[in-house]
Structure 1
Amino acid sequence: MSMTVLLEVQLRNDVSTEDAEAAIRETLAQTGGFAGNESLEVIVDDADPNRLVVVERWTTTADHDAYVAWRGTPEGAANALAAVVAGPPVTRTFDRTIPLA
């Protein structure tokens, strides 16, 4: 069963929309190519366009854990994104669902 990750990011106010979106695309291109990533979507807060939530779907929790470990290495560092965020992102993971039918 797949799992979902919500990554809430606050962008810096002094970075242009174009630069921020380029950094997001660069970073998420790497994420999307990582083994076990099923999908990515970036949603923008209507009240604060500098607040984003990245919705990630992963095949397994182990796949996401491997991705997080890789991001902690020099090869996986998300330097482009780090340059445009105002602070550390907030990550929430969900690997259990409640069937509705």
Structure 2
Amino acid sequence: MAVTSLLDLHVAAESVADAPTVIAEVLTATRAFEGNLGVEVLVDTDDSAHFMVVETWQSIGHDDAYRASRATPEGASALGGILAGPPTLTRFEPVAPTAG
């Protein structure tokens, strides 16, 4: 079953101008990772340092494999260097509608 992962990012004030480029570079690898069905980046209309990355994965297993790869020295990215704090990850699965 597909899963949607929301990665809530707060960028350090001194990195806001560079954030779109850094995020785009990081997401190139995300989009190429096995099981990724798409990625969209949103920026808060009231706070240009607040980003939401919306990822869609074939399964939680694919998402878990991606997160595990990013935790290795080989999979690490420049994203951590521009953040004001740790990102928050929330994952959602579709719910079948109930008969009404």
State whether TM-score is above 0.5. yes
Separation of aligned partners in 1, 2:43 and 2:9: 10
CA distance in 1, matches of 2:59, 2:16: 35
> Do the aligned residues in 1 keep the contact of 2:8 with 2:88 (CA within 8 Å)?
yes
Deviation at residue 22 of structure 1 after TM alignment: 1.2
Number of matched pairs: 99
Higher share of residues assigned strand: 2
Report the RMSD for the aligned CA atoms in angstroms. 1.5
Cα distance in structure 1, aligned partners of 2:65 and 2:27: 16
Specify the code of the residue in structure 1 equivalent to 2:85: G
Question: Where do 5+ consecutive residues of structure 1 fail to align?
Answer: none
How does 1:48-63 map onto structure 2 within 5 Å? 48-63=47-62
Letter in 1 for 2:5: V
> 1:99 deviation in Å?
2.4
Q: Give the TM-score of the pair, scaled to structure 1.
A: 0.91
SS in 1 for 2:46: coil
TM-score normalised to the size of structure 2?
0.91
- Structure 1 residue 46, shift from structure 2 partner: 1.0
Identity %: 41
Q: Which runs of 5+ in 2 are unaligned?
A: none
Matches within 5 A, 1:75-86: 75-78=74-77, 80-86=78-84
Q: Could you list the runs of 4 or more consecutive aligned residues of structure 1 that deviate by over 4 angstroms after TM superposition?
A: none
